[in-house]
Amino acid sequence: MSDINASLHTMQAEPARSADDVYAAIKGAVTSGQYRGGQYLREEQLARSLGVSRTPVREALRRLDAEGWVETRPNYGVRVKAWTLQDAREIFEARLLVEPYLAGRAALSIAASDIGRLEVLAEAMLAITQRPSTAQSSEAWFAANGEFHAIITAAGNNARLDRSLKSMKETPLIKWTFGTYSDDDRLRSARQHFEIVRALEARNAAWTEAAMRCHILAAENAVLERSNGSVPGS
């Protein structure tokens, strides 16, 4: 059985029906890494797996192409985008432009309950750094870190910028960056989360913005320093 057939098999448990369901199912398979960079997606196979006609599959692939998840090659078909180090640099550049700004705004309006949740998440990530790194601990870190940042950017009260940021962070490339972290990188990152929480507690926009900027710059340095010119899984 080919790689794509194997991946398709995993999508059969919950057949999609609407066009949005088809889009979500295919995007989910791409973002989870079921489809590797450069892998071709065939309309007929996807439609059969999802229990739909080719029309919603075609529409979903067009949407994914427009969003940059896949790319259409004339006379060849649609394939999953292969991410590069340049993509990583561009995502970090975009994050540096948007995320510190939203964090600074969040400092002025974030709810006390949200700050409490951020503290819990920061403690959870610090606890993860105290244990040997495993696939499970990496998943837990990724989930906690994602929620931590999502709470802050949502509190920035700019839905359009927040949606744009979330779209960038959904890429498989973001998950790969966590796999490049050393134990020291994770510990440093965990400590920086506490500084961000302290800045938010102080309702200090400038401090929060600066702390978030340093956090992202440190992550960028850790990723690019260990990349050796390639992106695993592409």
Q: For residue 78, which of 64, 99, 95, 93 has the smallest C-alpha distance?
A: 64
Percentage of the chain beyond pLDDT 70 is 85
Question: Does some domain include residue 234?
Answer: no
Spatial distance between the Cα atoms of 60 and 155, rounded to a whole number of angstroms? 31
Q: Provide the residue type at 20 as one letter.
A: D
Q: Which one of 35, 63, 80 terminates a domain?
A: 80
Give the whole-angstrom CA distance, residue 12 versus residue 9.
5
- pTM, to two decimals: 0.72
The pLDDT assigned to 88 comes to 84
Query: Same domain for 167 and 147?
Result: yes
Q: In the prediction, which pLDDT does 227 show?
A: 62
What pLDDT does 1 receive?
A: 43
Question: Tell me: the pLDDT tens digits for 87-134?
Answer: 888 999 999 999 999 999 999 999 999 999 999 999 999 999 998 877
Domain region containing 173:
85-225
The CATH number given to whatever domain includes residue 196 is 1.20.120.530
| 76 shares its domain with 89 | no
Show Cβ contacts of residue 28 under 8 Å, excluding neighbours closer than 6 positions. Answer: none
Task: Establish if 118 belongs to a structural domain.
Answer: yes
Q: How far is CA 177 from the centre of its chain?
A: 10
- Residue 38: CATH number of its domain: 1.10.10.10
Number of domains in the chain: 2
Cα separation of 91 and 103, whole Å?
A: 17
Is residue 91 domain-shared with residue 64, that is, in the same domain?
Answer: no
User: Which pLDDT value is given to residue 135?
Assistant: 72
Q: What is the pLDDT along the chain (234 residues), one digit of tens a residue?
A: 445 555 554 554 444 468 889 998 998 888 777 888 889 999 999 999 999 999 999 999 999 988 778 899 988 999 998 878 888 889 999 999 999 999 999 999 999 999 999 999 999 999 999 988 777 888 888 899 999 999 999 999 999 999 999 888 877 667 666 667 788 888 999 999 999 999 999 999 999 999 999 999 999 888 887 665 545 444
- Which residues are registered as beta bridge partners of 73? 77
Same domain, 54 and 127: no
Rounded Cα distance, 11 and 124, in Å? 32
Domain edge (last residue) among 80, 108, 126: 80
Contact (Cβ atoms closer than 8 angstroms) between residue 118 and residue 197:
yes
**Same-domain pairing of 29 and 129:** no
